[in-house]
Amino acid sequence: MFTTFRNAWKVEELRKKLIYTMLVLVVFRLACCMPVPFISSAALTSLLGEGGSLLDIMDMFSGGAFSQATLGALGVQPYINASIIIQLLTVAIPALENLAKEGEEGRRKLTRITRYTGAGFAVALSFGYYWLLRSQGVLSHTDGFSGVFAAIVIVLSFAAGSMFIQWLGEQIDQKGIGNGISLLIFAGIVSRFGSMFSTVRTYFLLGMAGMTKYFFFLPMLAVLALVVIVLIVILNAAERRIPVQYAKRVVGRKMYGGQSSYLPIKVNMSGVMPIIFASALLSIPSTIGTFLPGLNNQTEHPIWYGFFHMFSTSSWFYAALYFILIILFNYFYVGMQYNPIELANNLRNNNGAIPGYRPGKPTSDFIAKVLGKITFTGALFLGVVASLPTIIGMITGMPVSLGGTSLLIVVGVALDTSRSLESYMLMRHHKGFLE
């Protein structure tokens, strides 16, 4: 991968794209550091840190901007929510499904609908964030006309910041390298590496002070992180190739077809989407407990305290339910993306067939069987990678700052960007050869 980046830097056109992408990421990080008026610094730090609520997930995607209530606090979360909703509605609403099948023009319309939906989510989340800040008493103006003016400024600042960050992602798509939204999330997660190193230093000093168990845990975590990264790299590239044979056909005086190909099915087809769905669902009780701290009191409300504790990241119930939900959501997401009957019909319409299986239902049944096996393997992989940091934290008592979701995103985005550079250099090489 490093060789690919070094070779890409030697190409002038790619070098300009890389520099442009880096400048956009710098602007994104500056937006995440610009304070919003009428809010005290470090407004929500006391509410975050346990990793189990929806606020912690938003803080991770924004690179810590959410906990500081800055201009980039909402980050790309509204756009991600809008993308998920539109993707789900595409399956349920025939009009959106027809747009998805209309080619480039249909995709542009869907992108426009997603953009407007993301703007609506940004305004709604900005209102919710404002009321959360107001309930915590961190606003400098809350009464009278000044309070109304402060509310308008805060809501518009958060919404405008989110739309500006979404626009930055689109600029990377058009003029830079890689997927813009993914790179912005990547930059936010990487920016938290400093706090991770500070945590490691703290535990190293505790080991020097006499708590020798940390001298064993720290190297073990480092080795485990390397193993997980290697597994992510291998399984992101792993795929099952179903052989396909195309029949010969005569059109006029020419003969077409007759070649052999394959139908690639990736092991990790759904990426990190099942983890995000499972995290969002399990974070609802923790988020409610954050907004209602009175119920999260063991002395006054022991039943509610036990309920909220079950859904904390330090609970074995949370780890087990998290693992099960990731597997279920993985099957759900793959089922939405891949239709064995449609794949079998496409093969038949193009005079293709899987050797040993007749076109039609036998082919679709075989594809469904292979999809089930591959999906289960990918779901187990995602479940282990996502749940492992939580289990290690419960065993060792050390909060693992870089979780499985973060590792999957960081490694996945790095690999995708590397593949984009390789494809661009390959295309440039062939273009120069033809010229």
% helix / strand / coil in the chain, to the nearest 5?
A: 70, 5, 20
Residue type, position 383, single letter? G
pLDDT band at 226, cuts 50/70/90?
A: confident
Please compute the mean of the pLDDT values over residues 131-150 and round it to a whole number. 72
Query: What is the model's pLDDT at position 19?
Result: 92
pLDDT at 401: 52
Kindly report, residue by residue over 256-313, the tens digit of the pLDDT. Answer: 556 778 888 888 887 777 877 787 777 777 767 666 666 656 667 777 777 777 777 7
Confidence of residue 431 (pLDDT cuts 50, 70, 90): very low
Identify the CA nearest to 291 among candidates 134, 162, 183. Answer: 134
- Contact assessment for residue 155 and residue 127, using Cβ atoms and an 8 Å cutoff: yes
Report the alpha-carbon distance of residue 259 to residue 309 in Å, rounded. 59
Q: What is the pTM of this model?
A: 0.79
404 alpha carbon, distance to own chain's centre: 11
How many angstroms separate the CA atoms of 145 and 150, rounded? 9
Sort 308 into a burial class: Cβ within 10 Å, 0-12 / 13-18 / 19+: buried
Examine the pLDDT at 430 and tell me if it is beyond 80. no
Band (158; pLDDT cuts 50, 70, 90): very high
User: What is the per-residue pLDDT for 397?
Assistant: 63
pLDDT of residue 163 exceeding 90: yes
Where is pLDDT greater, at 389 or 150? 150
For the chain, the domains span 1-192
Per-residue pLDDT band at 21 (split at 50, 70, 90): very high
Please give the CATH number for the structural domain made up of 1-192: 1.10.3370.10
Coil, strand, or helix at residue 255?
Answer: strand
Q: Which of 234, 196, 188, 187 is nearest to 403 (CA)?
A: 196
DSSP code of residue 248: P
Expressed in angstroms, the distance from the first to the final Cα of the chain is 29
* CA 313/CA 395 separation, integer angstroms: 12
Q: Token pair of 65, please?
A: 């901007």
Task: Give me the percent of the chain exceeding a pLDDT of 90.
Answer: 7
pLDDT of residue 245: 83
> 3-class DSSP state for residue 70?
strand
User: Does 322 or 259 have the greater pLDDT score?
Assistant: 322
Give the pLDDT band of residue 181 (cuts 50, 70, 90): confident
The residue assigned the tokens 């959410």 is 66
pLDDT 10s digits, 325-350: 888 888 888 877 778 888 888 888 87
Residue 434 pLDDT exceeds 50: no
DSSP code of 119? Answer: H
